[in-house]
Amino acid sequence: MSDDDRTEQLGSAIETIAKEQKTLECAVSVRDYNSDFRFSMKSDRLFHAASTIKVAILLAVMKAVDEGRARLDAPLHVRNRFLSVVDQSPYKLDRESDGYPQLYKSIGRTAKIAELADCMITSSSNLATNLLLDFVGTDEAAKVLRDAGLSGVHLRRGVEDENAYDEGINNEATADGLAELFAAFRGDFLSKNSREHAIHILLQQRFTSMIPAGLPSHATVAHKTGEISTVCHDAGIVYLPEREPYIVAVLTEVDPDSNGRRETVAKISKVIYEAVTGTRTGK
């Protein structure tokens, strides 16, 4: 099958799934390192990045390590006090809505940067995220993204910065932007050690009901999900033992009251897998 035919069939399949699931918007970006096949659907549309932005912070942390500005084994003070990017007013995070509430027991003490990076990605801890962003600096992290050539990921603030949200200052990403971000973990932007460390963390992801759920059991995925009331995303690198990996980013905008949003991403992941590998996985 030609790439054009694959593209047409995949686009049609994704549109059918999105329509059936009543998804308001759906954007997809695919890059296959095995065949050079690329697929884009609304891939330059900006979405609220939700927790996928944590991958950008991981990139900034690993770059800081490479440049000697941070050490993975260095202790960082754990505290729940952050300053809004709008007016520097302090705010704190809600323990109950954090993916890793155990970290709040460490308030006042220190945690290693490596542990915080792990919590930020595998458990999607908002506290770990803001601690690392506060340490690296939002401006510095945004500069790292620019240096990496990423134009589709906009890092502007920490998590739960309500003052910024009210001002319309949000972290945003396109499907192409997230695909480029994951590609940066495969290129030479980071040192080999930092690349391997970051990929290892991303492979330990605990939330597996989206991209991995649409794949055969022998697939492994280095990925990060992102969900708030109106968006549901997943993006990452899919590893299959028989071939080179592919990168996939699926971003959706949904009705806040809708059900089955994760299943939608899983179904899209499945048809992407079939298109990329030329196999059928059944229902």
Partner 1 sequence: MSELDMEVVDGLTLSEKHRELLRPGEAVEDEHGNSHRLPRFFFSVPSWKKAYETRLAPHFKLAELMTVDCREADLLLNEFPHYVPCAVTLIARYLEDLRRDADAVVLVGANGGYRSPVHQRNEPKSPHCWATAADIYRVGGTYLDDEKSIAKYADMAQSLGPQVFARPYTKGDDHLHIDLGFITVTPRNCSEGLAAASPDVQKHVRPKTSPQ
Residue 263 tokens read as 């299943």
Q: Give me the least distance between CB of 98 and partner 1, in Å please.
A: 15
Tell whether residue 77 is a contact of partner 1 (CB under 8 A). yes
Rounded-to-10 torsion of CA 114, 180, 210, 201 = -20
Rule CB under 8 A: is residue 91 a binding residue for partner 1? Answer: yes
# binding residues, partner 1 (CB under 8 A)? 20
According to the binding rule CB under 8 A, does residue 79 interact with partner 1?
yes
Q: Which of 71, 146, 200, 206 binds partner 1 (CB under 8 A)?
A: 71
User: Quick one: tokens of 43?
Assistant: 């891939």
Instruction: For the CB of residue 186, give the shortest distance to partner 1 in the complex, in Å.
Output: 28
Per CB under 8 A, does 101 bind partner 1?
A: no
Q: Where are the alpha helices (DSSP H) in the chain?
A: 3-20, 53-66, 113-122, 126-136, 138-147, 162-166, 175-184, 192-203, 261-277
Q: Does the protein bind partner 1 through residue 282 (CB under 8 A)?
A: no
Closest-CA residue to 266 (of 242, 233, 243)? 233
- How far are the Cα atoms of 98, 100, 105, 142, 217 from residue 92, in angstroms, in the given order? 12, 15, 15, 22, 40
Quick one: which of 56, 113, 179, 237 contacts partner 1 (CB under 8 A)? 113
Q: Are 268 and 214 in contact (CB under 8 A)?
A: yes
Near partner 1 by CB under 8 A, which window of 104-112, 120-128, 233-241, 268-276? 104-112
- Indicate whether 243 belongs to the interface with partner 1 (CB under 8 A): no
Least separation in angstroms between CB 132 and partner 1: 12
135 binds partner 1 (CB under 8 A): yes
- Least distance from partner 1 to the Cβ atom of residue 257, Å: 34
* CA neighbor of 160 nearest in space, from 103, 212, 83, 222: 83
Per DSSP, the three-state class of 77 is: strand
Least distance (Å) between residue 103 CB and partner 1: 14
Chain contacts with partner 1 (rule: CB under 8 A): 70-71, 74-81, 89-92, 107-110, 113, 135
